[in-house]
């Protein structure tokens, strides 16, 4: 008997015309059907036992003028994260080298800015060049970009630009007031126009409902081109932020979101990002079964904890999965 969770004509084609109704029905399908369909599609485009490994470094921490309710780096909140200056080129290069030696193939750099000033961009471009010289893929998340800035990043060799939607357009105003949903889409368009791969996902567990998560994925799936990378974060409640007392989300909701992303965007890398420290090995295994094929590796994601490298290595050994080589992070045709 065929599974009812995938809409007709969706199992064998890349679509950019998903409706909210389809996305909401998909994410709420019986879990066994959802996982079965996601795994079938995952195996069509990727090696099901390979997981791409990335490392994330905060190159400029704290003092951000945005008021994102989940973030300890906002100047609006009373967290323990203080403002720091941009890291030196030498310090970033050393961190990238450590990441490479630990098995990472992609090195991501994050800065707590609303958007980069031109003189800051000069320094970041130098960092990108150093990362590329080490043989790593490069990724940056620097906030909103103005005209011409994405082109400069491309010239420096940037492979991926991360700019998350965070949540659905309907729920967005409950989380952030200093920017709007359209601002996010505008930067994504600039990144795509410059020829840089798009990394875009969201955060789960901020008080939104399942329909919000489906709606966010529907927006991503209806972009002119699907994001090459989709990071899915579980909220890490941080003291001093407005979401500090938020109840934890059931991990099965993350599993559902991963499977939905895999079905709607078959060729994208789906990454388990912040919040893995709160996930037990069984939940992570279900996420891999649902189609997740990328993780952040190391002890810290910007300002929140992440499983230690040895813990991840042990998990990989238990599951029989292996880190993907650099040339294996593109989907099979």
Q: Which residues participate in catalysis according to the annotation?
A: 64, 68, 71, 108, 139, 199, 271
161 bridge partner residues: 140, 198
> What sign does the dihedral 31-34-40-43 (CA atoms) show?
negative
Could you tell me how many residues make up the chain?
Answer: 333
Write the DSSP string, 199-228. Answer: E--EEE-SS--HHHHHHHHHHHHTSSS--S
**Cβ count within 10 A of residue 309:** 16
What the block records as the tokens of 177 is: 């007031």
Between the CA of residue 315 and those of 86, 279, 309, what are the distances in Å? 34, 12, 10
Element housing 96 (H / E): helix 89-101
Q: How many CA atoms lie within 13 A of 275 on its CB side?
A: 26
């Amino acid at each position: 008997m065929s599974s009812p969770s995938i809409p007709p004509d969706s199992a064998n084609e890349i679509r950019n015309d998903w409706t909210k109704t389809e996305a909401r029905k998909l994410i709420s399908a019986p879990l066994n059907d959802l996982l079965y369909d996601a795994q079938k599609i995952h195996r069509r485009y990727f090696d099901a036992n390979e997981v791409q490994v990335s490392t994330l470094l905060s190159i400029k921490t704290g003092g951000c003028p945005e008021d994102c309710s989940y973030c300890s780096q906002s100047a609006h909140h009373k967290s323990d994260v203080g403002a720091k200056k941009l890291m030196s080129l030498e310090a970033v290069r050393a961190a990238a080298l450590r990441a490479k030696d630990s098995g990472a193939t992609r090195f991501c750099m994050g800065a707590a800015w609303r958007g980069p000033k031109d003189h800051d961009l000069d320094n970041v471009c130098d960092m990108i060049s150093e990362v590329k010289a080490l043989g790593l893929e490069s990724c940056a998340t620097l906030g909103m970009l103005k005209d011409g800035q994405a082109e400069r990043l491309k010239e420096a060799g940037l492979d991926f630009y991360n700019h998350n939607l965070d949540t659905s357009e309907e729920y967005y105003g409950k989380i952030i007031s200093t920017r709007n949903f359209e601002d996010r889409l505008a930067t994504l368009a600039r990144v795509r126009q410059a020829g840089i791969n798009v990394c875009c996902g969201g955060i789960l567990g901020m008080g939104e409902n399942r329909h919000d998560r489906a709606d966010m994925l529907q927006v991503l799936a209806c972009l002119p081109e699907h994001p090459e990378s989709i990071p899915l974060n579980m909220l890490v409640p941080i003291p001093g932020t407005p979401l500090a007392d938020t109840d934890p989300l059931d991990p099965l909701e993350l599993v559902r979101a991963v499977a939905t992303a895999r079905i709607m965007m078959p060729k994208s890398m789906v990454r388990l990002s912040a919040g893995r420290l709160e996930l037990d090995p069984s939940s992570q295994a279900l996420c891999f079964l649902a189609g997740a094929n990328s993780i952040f590796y190391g002890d810290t994601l910007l300002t929140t904890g992440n499983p230690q490298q040895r813990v991840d290595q042990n998990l990989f050994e238990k599951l029989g999965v292996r880190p993907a080589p650099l040339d294996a992070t593109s989907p099979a045709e």
